[in-house]
């Protein structure tokens, strides 16, 4: 079967309904397009779980702040389609913005996960996660997937979506896939394209600093506060502007340990006008 491009909500819903009636299992990868190897890894993972595979491409205005890069965000539908054809994706759902949110300005229904959405990235990007959970919820209603796959580079996003699916009893299995990195360690991201040559050369130092932090913990560093302070200073000296650098419980992102006693280091930094995020499990 060839890859079908669908732009209307009704057509997507009708195809999903037919598949479900035929007892077929649907896997779904939501994206904002401009696909790189990280996205393709999600698609490969999704393929393992299902009879039918849907990838959405939609640059969601609700998750961008007023001064963020919505207009600049790369839109590369033809190139994305070509990549997804190679992976034998069944349907690419790429709705028109004007049809997807008929009256975005008058929208009154939002899906929110307070608490988890207000910290870390949510603290510097108010309403960002409300935009994410609202669009993901809407996409789930349209695609009706059995399984949905997300990258864990957006660690907080994945935690929030897990909370939403659990709280609202959505009958969907979520899978997180590890971050795919460039050879020099930089986490793949569409926003890496914004970096100048000099910034691009510096960017891998972010992950190197996270790895150094992890090693210090492995070798017995117990004072997380001072470890964070020193790494923040190091990153600023190297030319990053640190938005946040924190060590949180890996299961619920709280500052206190839960029973699982698994920790994650999470960070967001600015390199010039470009905001990069990354994380590493301890």
Q: Which residues of this protein are in contact with ligand PAF, per CB under 6 A?
A: 30-32, 60, 63, 132, 135-136, 154, 157
Burial 241-272 (b: 16+ CB within 10 A, else e): ebbbbbbbbbbebeeeeeeeeebbbbbbbebe
Nearer to ligand PAF, 135 or 245 (CB): 135
Is-contact 55 92, C-beta < 8 A? yes
Please give the positions annotated as active site.
Answer: 39
Q: How far is 62 from 271, CA to CA, in rounded Å?
A: 24
Q: How far is CA 215 from the centre of its chain?
A: 26
Residue 111 CB, nearest distance to ligand PAF (Å)? 12
Supply the minimum distance, in Å, between the C-beta of residue 108 and ligand PAF. Answer: 20
* Shortest distance, position 276 Cβ to ligand PAF, whole Å: 14
Complex with ligand PAF: residue 177 or 269, whichever CB lies closer: 177
- Say how far apart CA 131 and CA 114 lie, in whole Å: 12
CA distances from 156 to 23, 131, 166, 265 (A): 33, 14, 15, 11
Pick the closer one to ligand PAF by CB: 33 or 146. 33
Would you say 30 or 145 has its CB closer to ligand PAF?
30
């Amino acid at each position: 079967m060839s890859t079908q491009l669908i732009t209307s909500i009704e057509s997507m819903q009708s195809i999903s309904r037919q598949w479900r009636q035929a007892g077929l299992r649907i896997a779904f990868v939501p994206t904002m397009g401009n696909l790189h190897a990280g996205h393709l890894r999600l698609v490969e993972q999704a393929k393992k779980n299902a009879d039918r595979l849907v990838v959405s491409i939609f640059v969601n205005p609700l998750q961008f702040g007023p001064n963020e890069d919505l207009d600049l965000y790369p839109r590369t539908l033809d190139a994305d389609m070509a990549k997804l054809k190679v992976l034998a994706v069944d349907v690419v759902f790429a709705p028109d913005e004007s049809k997807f949110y008929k009256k975005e300005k008058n929208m009154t229904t939002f899906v929110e996960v307070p608490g988890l959405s207000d910290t870390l990235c949510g603290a510097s990007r108010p309403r960002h996660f409300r935009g994410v959970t609202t669009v993901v919820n809407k996409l789930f209603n349209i695609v009706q997937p059995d399984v949905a796959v997300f990258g864990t580079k957006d660690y907080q996003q994945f935690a929030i979506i897990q909370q939403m699916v659990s709280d609202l009893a959505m009958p969907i299995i979520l899978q997180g896939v590890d971050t795919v990195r460039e050879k020099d360690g930089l986490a793949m991201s569409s926003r890496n394209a914004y970096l100048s040559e000099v910034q691009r050369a510096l960017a891998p130092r972010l992950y190197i600093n996270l790895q150094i932090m992890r090693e210090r913990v492995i070798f017995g560093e117990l004072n997380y506060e001072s470890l964070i302070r020193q790494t923040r200073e190091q990153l600023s000296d190297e030319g990053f502007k640190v938005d946040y650098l924190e060590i949180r419980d890996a299961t619920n992102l709280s500052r206190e340990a839960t029973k699982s006693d698994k920790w994650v280091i999470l960070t967001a930094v600015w390199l010039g006008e470009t905001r990069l995020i990354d994380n590493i499990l301890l």
